[in-house]
Structures are given as C-alpha cells and as structure tokens.
Amino acid sequence: MQALRNLFRAPWSSDVKLDGQTAVITGANTGIGKETAIDLAKRGARVILACRDMEKAQAAVTEIIESSGNDSVVCMKLDLSDCKSIREFAEEINKSKLTCLFGKIKH
C-alpha cells in the first residue's frame, strides 16, 4: 500500500528564496522541525531555533549550518510550559524584525 501511495505523492520542495526573511521554529532540534529549519536555511532565511534544551539546540544549530551552508542560524531558549520563558523570548523577538513563524502544535 505504501508503494502505491508513493507513486502519487511527489516530495515537497520549493525554490523560493527567503533572503532577508527570519523564521522562528519551535521544536527545531529534532524531527520535522529540524528538517524545516534546514530547508529554510538552505533557501537563505535567518533561522531561530526556539528550544527548551539549549545543549540539544546548539548541536542542531551546528548540524543545520553544516547541512545548509547558511551561518545565520541561532538558538534561543524557549520553554512553552513556563510563562516567564515565553515572556522573555517574546521580548527578545520583538526587538528584531520577525517575518515568519513555524511551530509544532501538540493536540
């Protein structure tokens, strides 16, 4: 069944350049978030990884920079279960020009 699905589903990609754009991605140190960060960085975006675990986030930043060739990738501390962390993150983001926002939403 999976082989049949793959016949009709093309991989997603985009050639749109994102130079001058900034993207904030939550959950970007693993999985879909990290793949999204790599794609956006390859297309020239400045990427901010909003992560709770800064050690894992820094490792992801290094990997994303190596994969994309874009050194405009940074991580910032954000714990979505902590109101103080959210407030501090928002204050820092408001100081910069934000043009895109991506995140994982858990149901």
What's 83's domain CATH number? 3.40.50.720
51 and 75 Cβ atoms separated by less than 8 Å? yes
Residues 6+ apart with CB under 8 A from 60: 28, 29, 30, 34, 37, 49, 51, 75
Whether 7 is covered by a domain: the verdict is: no
Q: Is the pTM of this model over 0.85?
A: no
Whether 86 is covered by a domain: the verdict is: yes
Can you tell me the mean pLDDT for 59-77?
Answer: 96
Whether 37 is covered by a domain: the verdict is: yes
Whether 29 is covered by a domain: the verdict is: yes
Distance separating alpha carbons of residues 6 and 1, to the nearest angstrom:
9
- The structural domain count of the chain equals 1
Residue whose structure tokens are 């999985």: 31
Whether 13 is covered by a domain: the verdict is: no
Q: Which residue range(s) make up the domain with 44?
A: 18-102
The pLDDT tens digits of the residues spanning 73-106 come to 999 999 999 999 999 999 988 887 665 555 554 4
User: Could you tell me which of 80, 37, 86 has the C-alpha nearest to residue 61?
Assistant: 37
The pLDDT tens digits of the residues spanning 16-56 come to 899 989 899 998 999 989 999 999 999 999 999 999 999 99
